[in-house]
Amino acid sequence: MGKRIWGQGELGARGKTCFKFSPLVPLSPCPLVSPAPSAPHSPKSMPTNTWNRHHILSLADFTTTEYDTVLQTAASFQEVLSRRTKKVPTLQGQVVANLFFESSTRTRSSFELAAKRLSADTLNFAAATSSMTKGETILDTAKTYLAMGTDIMVVRHREAGVPNAIAAEMDRLGVGVSVLNAGDGQHEHPSQGLLDLFTLCTLIDPASPRLELLKGKKIAIVGDILHSRVARSNIWSLIASGAEVHLAAPPTLLPKLFAEYISEELGVRNYSPTPQLFLHWQLEPALQNADFVMTLRLQKERMTAHLLPSLREYHQLFGITRTKLQLCKPNVKVLHPGPVNRGVEISSELMDDPEFSLIQSQVTSGVAVRMALLYLLGSGKT
Ligand code: NCD
């Protein structure tokens, strides 16, 4: 067995925000457009008049009103998806282009299905079979889709900042195209953060999911936090909700630099001095009395060094199992954004256990939440 290299102490005291961080990508505030008129074929109680964001690139600057608008809108679409005819004509005539420069199963498919359920036309791009193999640049690729009349670009790329760069170019051109970040490097994955939020809030109040429902809940995020864009987006939404967020990972996957980054950003955003974010190099304090546990995949494709002695030891120390869940509240639930490496970050039996696992319902929520996001961006365009 590999040598144990991880520290056993806790990282950072409660509420200490003493580090400085250089952001992973320079982020500019999202440009605003005039409030969207209410859409002609929208399901009931759609709060578009509270929405004025033109691109969705990050959750770091989302407001409580925006979170609640997404949650309410997604709940309405969840209702549409439960009907016999699961389609509304809301985005008829609009074009949604899925520009996936990096592989994806659920995010790409659920954006495509969401667009189709809204009656938009969809274009799917996969880098490996595109003209990028002949040397075409990212921006030229985006402009090609623009020339075909694309209204919303859903962008995934292995480099942080690519969706921001495409959004900046669209704004420079003044063409009114919205960009939705579907995961950029280890920066952010806002639609995943929002679907996780929706999954949690609808579990507590299916009829009226709202941000405040998570206030005071203890949520553990466990695993490869350093390389996780999902963790970064979830941290912003969960802190905004008033939940207590506990990050747990070995120090190689949760370095002090990460604490610096979060602390700095929270300071910039003027979050209350009440300590809400805790970092642990041990699993147990994070799991103790937790209401929810979010597990994360080891993102080997983003690792630039050998960061773990062995997968077996990692599973022993940080893998989530039914036995370890005994430390949590009795009705604890487990989330995972997928794809899962069974037996590494989560045991295979726990993953398939409907008593604890929310993994399938996250995927289901993904369609309603992405319908909500496309609707909120697109309803002002027609
Ligand atoms: C995540 C991603 O791609 O960032 N998955 C997802 O979008 N559902 C997490 C991961 O790859 O581990």
Q: What separation in Å is there between the alpha carbon of 372 and the centre of ligand 1?
A: 20
% of the chain at pLDDT higher than 90: 73
Domains of the chain: 10-24+190-363 (3.40.50.1370), 48-187+365-378 (3.40.50.1370)
Q: Mean pLDDT, to the nearest integer, of 273-297?
A: 92
User: Residues lining ligand 1, CB < 6 A?
Assistant: 106-107, 183, 189, 192, 229-230, 297, 299, 337-338
For 33-45, the pLDDT digits (tens) are: 223 333 434 555 5
Q: How confident is the model at residue 301 (pLDDT cuts 50, 70, 90)?
A: confident
Q: Which atom of ligand 1 is found nearest the CA of 229?
A: 4
- pLDDT at site 183: 98
Q: Which residue has the tokens 């490097």?
A: 185
Contact between residue 61 and residue 195 where contact means Cβ atoms under 8 Å apart: no
Phi, psi at residue 109, to the nearest 5°? -65, -40
SS3 at position 215: coil
The more confidently predicted of residues 376 and 126 is 376
Q: Which atom of ligand 1 is found nearest the CA of 156?
A: 3
The more confidently predicted of residues 374 and 3 is 374
For 214-255, the pLDDT digits (tens) are: 999 999 999 999 999 999 999 999 999 999 999 999 999 998
The more confidently predicted of residues 20 and 180 is 180
Q: Alpha carbon of 269 to those of 158, 224, 239, 266, 368: distances in Å?
A: 27, 25, 11, 5, 29
For 107-118, the pLDDT digits (tens) are: 999 999 999 999
Is the pLDDT at 360 greater than 60? The verdict is yes
CA-to-CA distance for 10 and 283, rounded, in angstroms? 10
For 43-87, the pLDDT digits (tens) are: 555 665 679 999 999 999 999 999 999 999 999 999 999 999 999
| Probe residue for ligand 1, chosen from 110, 111, 192 as the CB with the greatest number of ligand atoms within 8 Å | 192
